[in-house]
A and B are shown apart, each in its own frame.
Chain A
Amino acid sequence: GDSVTQMEGPVTLSEEAFLTINCTYTATGYPSLFWYVQYPGEGLQLLLKATKADDKGSNKGFEATYRKETTSFHLEKGSVQVSDSAVYFCALSPRGGGNKLTFGTGTQLKVEL
């Protein structure tokens, strides 16, 4: 079945550091890929998405590129802020698969001054 694997957390960075959170997936066909963010005490918010190979999703300084050859969708940001501290979830939706989203286990990011 479909699966999403994320790097273990927590990831601790200093403000203005470069961020990479790795995400790889297993799925048949060409799924759509998403990154969600969960701030403390809140639900999940969509951060960005990509729906086909080589697409780049971007939002709020975050980027991720859909790499079919490596089945990856790594999240990057050039300069993190304390306000980026949150849990980040990678997810996939199978093409033609209707309703199901498969999530990774989440990666906690802590940004310190």
Chain B
Amino acid sequence: DVKVTQSSRYLVKRTGEKVFLECVQDMDHENMFWYRQDPGLGLRLIYFSYDVKMKEKGDIPEGYSVSREKKERFSLILESASTNQTSMYLCASREGRGSNQPQHFGDGTRLSIL
């Protein structure tokens, strides 16, 4: 089974801090994704990466950046955290680029910005 591991289940940070969310997958997948999940809005794509050092913006990239230095690891960075970034963050990975391949998700990080 695919294992996607997010480094923290719960995280509390202060406004203006630089925040790092880490994600690791163990299946050598090319593609990795960061979403945020908010009530009534479903999942919204922040960034994705289809190869090492490659990234593309999703639907809501503002206020975020990403890093993919190794194939198995994809980091989400909040450059200067704000209260409106309080949310559940989900990482996912997927093999290949075919539309019929499912994404595999981690357990999520619930981030609170005070």
Contacts and interface: CB of A to CB of B under 8 A. Distances in A.
Contact of B43 (A41, A42, A51, A89): A89
Interface of B: 4, 6, 31, 33, 40-43, 45, 48, 50, 56, 58, 90, 92, 94, 97, 99-108
Contact of A49 (B48, B102, B108): B102
Contact of A96 (B41, B45, B99): B99
A34 B100 CA distance: 9
The main secondary structure of chain B at its interface with chain A is: strand
A98 interface: yes
Contacts of B48: 99-100
The main secondary structure of chain A at its interface with chain B is: loop
Interface residues of A, number: 26
13 contacts: A32-B100, A36-B105, A43-B4, A43-B108, A89-B42, A89-B43, A95-B99, A99-B33, A99-B97, A100-B48, A101-B45, A103-B42, A104-B42
Contacts of A22: none
Interface of A: 31-32, 34, 36, 41-46, 49, 51, 89, 93-101, 103-106
